[in-house]
Amino acid sequence: MNYEAVIGLEVHVQLNTKTKIFCSCSTEYSGNEPNTNVCEICSGQPGTLPVLNGAVLERAIKTGLALNCKIAARTKFDRKNYFYPDLPKGYQVSQFDMPICSSGYIMLGAAESGEEKKIGITRIHMEEDAGKNVHGADGKKTFVDYNRGGIPLLEIVSEPDMRTPAEAKEYLEKLKVILKYIDVSDCNMEDGSLRCDANVSIRPVGEAKLGTKVEIKNMNSFRGVQKALEYEIERQNEAVKNNAKIFQETRLYDEAKGITLSMRKKEEAFDYRYFPEPDLPPYDISADTVVKIQAGIPELPDAKFKRYLKEFSLSAYDAGLISNNPPLAYFFEKCTDDYKNYKVITNWLLGDISKKINESQQADISKTNIKPAHLVEMLELIDNGTISGKIAKGIIDEIFNTAETPRQIISRLGLVQISDNDFIINIIKETLGENQKSIDDFINGKAAARGFLVGQIMKKTKGKANPKLVNEMLDAELNKLKLQ
């Protein structure tokens, strides 16, 4: 019997608002000393009360719209009650039965295979992040830091629509791209601004009933999610093969060993005793509010991809790469305002420029020195013969280092391409005069000799000779010699 995997993902993203969800402490806590980003409210002092950050609500609605969700006409908060040191109030303010968004979806596969698959999103809700428990080295104490306490989170819960670990990874990547387009979160698993728990079960193909669900936690990257799921599905398949029981439990992913481990078994689901948060009123979301927020949502990746194919005739591959990278897409589109050879733009962006971005270790193109105007100027200078493509590569390097414009760099380094016919013909004749053997080799059919001669000519001109002219003129001279 063939078994299929059924995967659902629960993603928590930290929103990039300036202040926490219920108090006015700054959200920039990364790298700070413990408990320096904390006030009486987010440390749960007696007598304090929450006030909702309007920007959190706005980003939640924006996210819901970008993920094709229904926005609740009325939403409210609830208390989730449990004891843990990183939870200062002894309850988390979250949303239970009236979440801000529901019934949305993400499309996968649009760019690559052309076979689209819809992954449903059950709900999105707002909640506050907890502090951090840091374990002491001797294992005797835990140190609690509330800097992260109160950071606004969105919890995004998918339907169990994914069937492979690769699909799960693709879902996460697509989600990240969309959220970066609407600029609500950094979505980095590495710095904790995106966290993911997976739910996975297996069942016979064709069976409608779901198998026993296992929750997987502690994955630290999208790739880690994929690998954890691969292991877990294998484990469950093995269990079924051996008639062993699959327990409904939570398992932690051990990255080093590449396996999942059972946590202390909880006999029954914990009783969180949810009840409506009495310190916060409900929120009515008007149709006007939704329209306004919708208007602020930029073109999203799926629409952008389709438009790139149509308007710019990009290949599906190029369109996919650019549309899934918001800063790159912005850069590309800006270039197209002033330069209409789109393929050339994408060649440079996806080639040398992307290479430089990786080398620079910046997060994306917008953090580097290169601007759309630089690229456009450079392409125009190539087109009008001022520089060669090879010289241009060097100019790209300089732009990244100095943020100068191509014209400034050319001027500073004296890079203007030599297109003076007389000058070039003299160098060619000089080179030919010094390399009789190569001439002979060429006449005798050794094509490589020509390349050697070109190299020597370029060396003499310090690479500045216009290659097109060099080639034309050298060929003409060689022909003359051949016919002699």
Partner 1 sequence: MISKDEVMKIAGLAMLELTEEEVLLYSEQLSSLLEHFNQIQSLNLDDIEPTNNALVNFNVLRADIVEPSKSQRTIVSNAPETDGKNFNVPAIIETEE
Partner 2 sequence: MTEKYKKYNDINELPLHYKPAHVIRTMLDSRQISPEEIKTETLKRIAKIDNKINSFLRLCDINNDSGEKNAFWLNIPIALKDNIATKNIITTAGSRILENHIPIFDATVTKKLKDQNAFIVGKTNLDEFAMGSSTENSAFKKTVNPWDYSCVPGGSSGGSAAAVASGMAYMALGSDTGGSIRQPAALCGVCGMKPTYGRVSRYGLIAFASSLDQIGPFTRDAVDMAHALDAISGHDSKDSTSSDSAVDNYSAAALKGYDFKNLKIGIPEQYFTGGIDAGVLNRVEAAIEEFKKLGATVVKVSLPNSKYAIPVYYLIATAEASSNLARFDGVKYGFRAPEYKNLKEMYMKTREAGFGAEVKRRIILGTYALSSGYYDAYYKKAQKARTLICQDFENAFKKVDVILTPVTPSTAFKFNEKTSDPLAMYMSDIFTISINLASIPAMSIPCGLSENMPVGLQILGNYFQEAKMLAIAAEFQKHTDHHLCMPAI
- Among 28, 30, 40, 389, the residue binding partner 2 under the rule CB under 8 A is 40
* 305 is a contact residue toward partner 1 (CB under 8 A): no
Q: Is 273 in the site for partner 2 (CB under 8 A)?
A: yes
x/- binding map, residues 91-130, to partner 1, per CB under 8 A? ----------------------------------------
- Axis-axis angle for helices 406-413, 389-402 (nearest 10): 100
- Partner that binds at residue 47, options partner 1, partner 2, none, CB closer than 5 to 8 Å by kind: partner 2
The answer to whether the beta carbons of residues 314 and 346 sit under 8 Å apart is yes
Distance in angstroms (rounded) separating the CA atoms of residues 46 and 66: 39
Backbone angles phi, psi at 301, to 5 degrees: -55, -40
Write the burial class of residue 52 (CB in 10 Å: 0-12 exposed, 13-18 middle, 19+ buried): middle
Q: Of residues 261, 291, 443, 448, which one binds partner 1 by CB under 8 A?
A: 261
From edge to edge, which strands make up the β-sheet containing 78-81?
91-94, 78-81, 275-276
Angle between helices 165-181 and 222-241 (to 10 degrees): 150
Which of 14, 17, 37, 43 touches partner 2 by CB under 8 A? Answer: 43
Residue 24, interface with partner 1 (CB under 8 A)?
yes
Tell whether residue 47 is a contact of partner 1 (CB under 8 A).
Answer: no
Report whether 422 contacts 428 (CB < 8 A): no
* Residues that contact partner 2, how many (by CB under 8 A): 28
Tokens of 449: 């000799």
Structure tokens at 280: 């916060």
Q: Which does 145 bind (CB under 5 to 8 A by kind): partner 1, partner 2, none?
A: partner 1
Residue 83 engages partner 2 in binding (rule: CB under 8 A): yes
Minimum CB distance to partner 1 smaller for 38 or for 465? 38
Residue 385 contacts by C-beta under 8 Å, 6 or more apart in sequence?
Answer: 417, 419, 466, 468
Choose the contact partner of 49 out of partner 2, partner 1, none; CB within 5 to 8 A by kind.
partner 2
- Return the bridge partners of 262, or none: 251
Please report whether residue 390 would count as binding partner 1 according to CB under 8 A: no
Binding site for partner 2 (CB under 8 A): 40, 43-52, 79, 81, 83, 85, 88-91, 142, 144, 271, 273, 275, 278-281
Binding site for partner 1 (CB under 8 A): 17-19, 24-26, 33-40, 43, 51-55, 57, 83-85, 133-136, 139-146, 252, 261-264, 271, 273, 276, 278, 280-284
